[in-house]
Amino acid sequence: MSEAFITAVARSAGGKRGGRLAGWHPTDLAGAVLRSLVERSGVDPAAIEDVIMGCACPGGEQGANIGRYAALSAGLPESVPGTTVDRQCGSSQQALHFAAATVMTGQMDVVIAAGVESMTRVPMGLPWTLPAQHGYGTYRSPGLEARYPDTPFSQFKGAEMLAAKYGFTREELDRYALESHQRAAAATREGHFKGEIVPLTVTLPDGTIVIHDTDEGIRAEATLEGIGSVKLLQEGGCISAANASQICDGAAALLVVNEAGLKRLGTRPLARIHQMTVLGHDPVIMLEAPIPATEKALKKAGMRLDEIDLYEVNEAFAPVPLAWAKALDADPSRLNVHGGAIALGHPLGGSGAKLMTTLVSALHTHGKRYGLQTMCEAGGMANVTIVERL
């Protein structure tokens, strides 16, 4: 079986809700990132055999198979197909797994894995809340209710449950959130994101035209006192908007090829896909799945966690990476070294590709060999990807 390689990466800078990317239709936002990826890679657009795009809320402006229409918006040949994957927050990480598996089997040689989410224009949950409001039902079927009677599937409740299970206080979560902002601000100052980000032209409400090339949610001047002053999401809890991921607009893309694709491109790969895992877990606590999924991935790879140089664990809520690190005895200095979603934003289905873009770039920046990425997903699932820098 062939191996799978990542040869180019690209992402937009994150946009805050109602911020600089609010005027970009998500199809065009994804299309702009795809177009830049193709330009960066030097690949003949006609050689691209598929575009696999993650999107957690594929409805409204993100409906009708955004993967296909983003490819057309990007100006790719009409011969290039596209499809859309929904594994909730892990959608574009799963898109990467599908792309890698496809080139590894030799069915295709050159595939784009990507993801997009405009949380400004398609609010979280819209594809299922809006139909329910108009009498078209809900995903909560009789069979599901029979198995989980009167049991809410809530990421917010899951985050509180996770914090309680692993014994984290509000202050510990807030300190982690502060560190996320500090690391992201430092990475921005030092230019670590410059090679990842696709500059996008934005027209502000006053008509001014600017280039959006910096993650909009980073609070370089954040303080522990300021974070601690933010209202809790539930009385007696420890989760606030300040120690949870930011609502975000964004897109990211990765070019995935096999050996035949490398020869066609005539270029050196950035990384090799070393291992891919996905795992289901408790859908009620929901956010704990990255822990057993990582254990499974490491076992299948024949590796120990201390052999991995950098970890990207999505900061959906502060207790997620903290519980992951505590349960697995992970080195905190290797975790989300350039900050995470608390500072940079979490564009749901776009985050998997976004995190991998940052992880591959960070491995090259710091001269490290192995990286591991994982993220919690609604429904109690997690993907894990281990890559090797080349």
pLDDT tens for residues 35-81?
A: 999 999 999 999 999 999 999 999 999 999 999 999 999 999 999 99
Total residues belonging to the chain: 390
Mean local confidence (pLDDT), 303-330: 98
Give the separation between CA 2 and CA 99, rounded to whole angstroms.
13
Q: Please tell me the predicted confidence (pLDDT) of residue 262.
A: 96
Distance (Å, whole) CA 114 – CA 7: 14
Average of per-residue pLDDT across 202-206: 90
Q: Mean of the pLDDT values across residues 335-357?
A: 98
Pairing mode of beta strands 50-54, 15-16: unpaired
Q: Is 9 exposed, middle or buried (0-12, 13-18, 19+ CB in 10 A)?
A: buried
What are 378's two structure tokens?
């609604």
Amino acid at 252: A
- pLDDT tens-digit profile of 206-221? 899 999 999 999 999 9
pLDDT of res. 334 = 98
Count Cβ atoms within 10 A of the Cβ of residue 186 and give its class: 0-12 exposed, 13-18 middle, 19 or more buried. middle
Mean pLDDT within 16-22? 97
- Rounded CA gap, 304 and 286, in Å? 25
- Return the bridge partners of 248, or none: 16
CA 59/CA 125 separation, integer angstroms: 9
Residue 163: strand, helix, or coil: helix
Interatomic CA distance for residues 246 and 248, integer angstroms: 6
Position 53 scores a pLDDT of 98
Q: Catalytic residues, which ones? A: 89, 346, 376
Alpha helices (H) along the chain: 26-41, 66-73, 91-104, 126-133, 142-147, 155-165, 170-189, 224-228, 259-265, 290-301, 319-328, 341-344, 351-365
Look up tokens 């809410």; give the residue.
152
Contacts of 184 (CB under 8 A, 6+ apart): 215, 218, 338, 339, 340, 343, 344
Query: What does the pLDDT read at residue 204?
Result: 87
Angle between helices 319-328 and 170-189 (to 10 degrees): 100
Q: Which two tokens stand for residue 345?
A: 């934003």
Q: Please tell me the predicted confidence (pLDDT) of residue 263.
A: 95
165 pLDDT band, cuts 50/70/90, is very high
Res. 205: pLDDT tops 90: no
Q: What is the DSSP letter of 13?
A: P
